[in-house]
Amino acid sequence: MTSQIIYKGDLRCVATHLQSGTAIETDAPTDNQGKGERFSPTDLVATALGTCMITTMGIKARTLNIALDGTRLEVTKIMVSDPRRIGKIVVHLYFPDTLNLDDKTKEILERTARTCPVERTLHPDVELDMQFYW
């Protein structure tokens, strides 16, 4: 089992990662009857894409003896209706100015990010806009 989720009421959940014991809380978003005081479940999907992209890039970077420390990602989730779902996820990756890579290495890392497990799991109807700022 990966996690345990407890519904606390008032559209809030607490999810505990069983291996580590860490917990996160979710709320429904304000545009869907919630308080928006925590990540919403769909926020976590979009955030999972960003963290998966940089994690898989980090794994590949290790094999290339490259440090991606300090890389910043900005993730934007855009909802659509009928049915209500994630319609688009925008991920902008900003790499440190001190990171000087050749074009081939950048291409390898970008391809790694664009084929991360979360990206491959998302429904093809979800539009993805990934921008890399080297």
CB count in 10 Å sphere of residue 10 = 10
DSSP codes joined into one string, 14-56: EEEETTT--EEEEE--GGGTS--SSB-HHHHHHHHHHHHHHHH
For the chain, what are the domain ranges?
A: 1-39, 40-133
CA separation for the pair 100, 85 (Å, rounded): 38
pLDDT, tens digit only, all 134 positions of the chain: 999 999 999 999 999 999 999 999 999 999 999 999 999 999 999 999 999 999 999 999 999 999 999 999 999 999 999 999 999 999 999 999 999 999 999 999 999 999 999 999 999 999 999 999 99
| Topology classification of domain 40-133 | GMP Synthetase; Chain A, domain 3 (3.30.300)
CA separation for the pair 24, 82 (Å, rounded): 29
Cβ(14)–Cβ(5) under 8 Å? yes
**pTM metric for this prediction:** 0.95
